Amino acid sequence: MFVLDRIFLAHYSFDAMNGATFAHQVTDIIVLPLLSFAAISEVFVGQFNGAQQFKKASDPIMQIAVFLLLVWLLICPLALYIRKFFIPECVWSEGNPYYCISMAMIPFQILQSSISAFFIGTRRPKIILFGTLTANVLNFLMDYLFIFGVGPFAPMGAKGAALASLIATVTSVIILATLFFNSYNSQNYDSRHMSVDFVILKRNILIGAPYALSEFVEMVVWMVLLLFLKEISMDAVILQSVGCTLWVFFAFISEGFQKGVMALASNCLGAGKDILIRRLVRSMLWITCVFAIFSAIPLLMYPELVVRLAFKITEAPLVADFKVLLALLWASYIILLLSHSCLGGILSSGGDTKFVTYVKMSSVLTCLIIPVCIFYSMKELTALTSWWLVIFQYIFNGAFFYTRFKKGAWKNVIIN
């Protein structure tokens, strides 16, 4: 959805794409920590499922979803107030409506992430695939209608992209919720009976909060970086906008693999078969090799084609920068798959999120914040600088995650 929105908006106007980029970057400061929090429920579901305590598997989902919805209600007024400080006046007409609609979409994203955690934790990802594909087809059609204006629909630019995503997300939630509450899940997982287990809720909060905090800090850094680049030139913003679009695409693929790793590893821990986790690491190595080969074709062999067809970038200086950017994205993604998806997912499956948080926040400080501030003060900051730094950040994370994994201190069964 995210990538299609940006591609359509690039063909509509760069002002619309940049407005959506600024608005989305501010929204990410709020939504990504909440979604990361919701996704941690999967660890509990997986361990309950692995231990064959099926009737308890749905409890973490509903209670953490309600908790996060209450958190959103508390922070929403502040979030609507601060938008004027982060969305520049030059793209306000496109960015403001996109931001407001995106804020209204957050409750549905929380429900989507929470229910998805249930199906991933119980090892039924095909259900999520069905809901996601349906939503994406709907989003594709409405993107074209709403952004460009077809028939009775007037062109809406960034606002149209946000509306299309909202409708698609609501559709996905309806599909997932219908399947979550169906007779099979009600009978086998007690999904229609929501009971609050304060012990599990407390553990979920304690484990989810550090993970959410690390996401929050990282998103704030990326928002500040975007504001720095705006002072340099709008070409730098365009480069960063397209870079973030592709990075989010890769990051969500990585998140998908991490959810799979967390589900399988937590099921193994719950069943007392943690020896199988080493097979999981070998599988991720093979997956990474396959993705490295296939992703190299568009990113390394045909970068000009990608930026010209997808984002209408034809100026020679920008195209030259984009060739370097796509190579950096390719390298960082391969490292991300191993460090974040594989090793980070395994550590999180045992509830070791505090360690993951400490490492991620340390890497953000040492590999992003300090270098970016130095380059900015020296007037040497460019749109490519951050992507070089991201590679070092992921190597930093991977080294510490691997050391922790080898020591085995992360292996915790966190259910009753």
State how far the Cα of 261 lies from the Cα of 139, in Å rounded to an integer: 28
The pLDDT value given to residue 97: 92
Average pLDDT over residues 326-331: 88
Q: Assess if residue 370 is contained within a domain.
A: yes
Count of C-beta atoms within a 10 Å radius of residue 262: 27
pLDDT more than 90, % of the chain:
11
Q: pLDDT, tens digit, for every residue of 302-324?
A: 888 888 887 777 787 778 888 88
Q: Residue length, the chain?
A: 416
The pLDDT value given to residue 250: 80
Domain interval for residue 242: 2-407
The pLDDT value given to residue 261: 86
Q: Assess if residue 317 is contained within a domain.
A: yes
The pLDDT value given to residue 108: 92
- Please report where in the chains the tokens 């409405």 appear, as a residue: 142
Q: Check if the beta carbon of residue 193 is closer than 8 Å to that of residue 400.
A: no
- Please report where in the chains the tokens 């078969």 appear, as a residue: 273
Task: Let me know the angle formed at the C-alpha of 109 by 64 and 159, rounded to the nearest 5 degrees.
Answer: 150
Q: Assess if residue 414 is contained within a domain.
A: no
Query: Comparing C-alpha atoms, which of 118, 372, 126, 71 is closest to residue 266?
Result: 118
Q: Assess if residue 9 is contained within a domain.
A: yes
State how far the Cα of 245 lies from the Cα of 18, in Å rounded to an integer: 11
Q: pLDDT, tens digit, for every residue of 168-186?
A: 999 999 999 999 999 888 8
State how far the Cα of 390 lies from the Cα of 374, in Å rounded to an integer: 16
Domain tally for the chain?
Answer: 1
Q: pLDDT, tens digit, for every residue of 231-269?
A: 877 778 878 878 877 877 787 788 778 878 888 888 888
Does position 200 have pLDDT exceeding 80, yes or no? no
Q: Assess if residue 55 is contained within a domain.
A: yes
Q: Assess if residue 415 is contained within a domain.
A: no
Average pLDDT over residues 347-371: 86
Average pLDDT over residues 21-35: 85
Amino acid at 82: I
Does position 416 have pLDDT exceeding 60, yes or no? no
The pLDDT value given to residue 414: 62
The pLDDT value given to residue 201: 78
Average pLDDT score over the chain: 84
Average pLDDT over residues 355-378: 88
Per-residue confidence band for 41, with pLDDT thresholds at 50, 70 and 90: confident
Per-residue confidence band for 165, with pLDDT thresholds at 50, 70 and 90: very high
Q: pLDDT, tens digit, for every residue of 43-100?
A: 778 778 888 888 887 888 888 888 888 989 898 888 888 888 888 888 889 989 999 9
Q: State the burial class of residue 196 (Cβ atoms within 10 Å of its Cβ: 0-12, 13-18, 19+).
A: exposed
Average pLDDT over residues 125-141: 87
The pLDDT value given to residue 313: 79
State how far the Cα of 123 lies from the Cα of 45, in Å rounded to an integer: 10
Q: pLDDT, tens digit, for every residue of 329-344?
A: 898 888 888 788 888 8
In DSSP notation, 270-318 reads: HTT-GGGHHHHHHHHHHHHHHHHHHHHIIIIISHHHHHHHHH----HHH
Average pLDDT over residues 12-31: 86
Give me 2's structure tokens.
């995210």
The pLDDT value given to residue 52: 81
Cα 101 to Cα 80, 97, 161, 296: the distances in Å are 11, 6, 10, 36
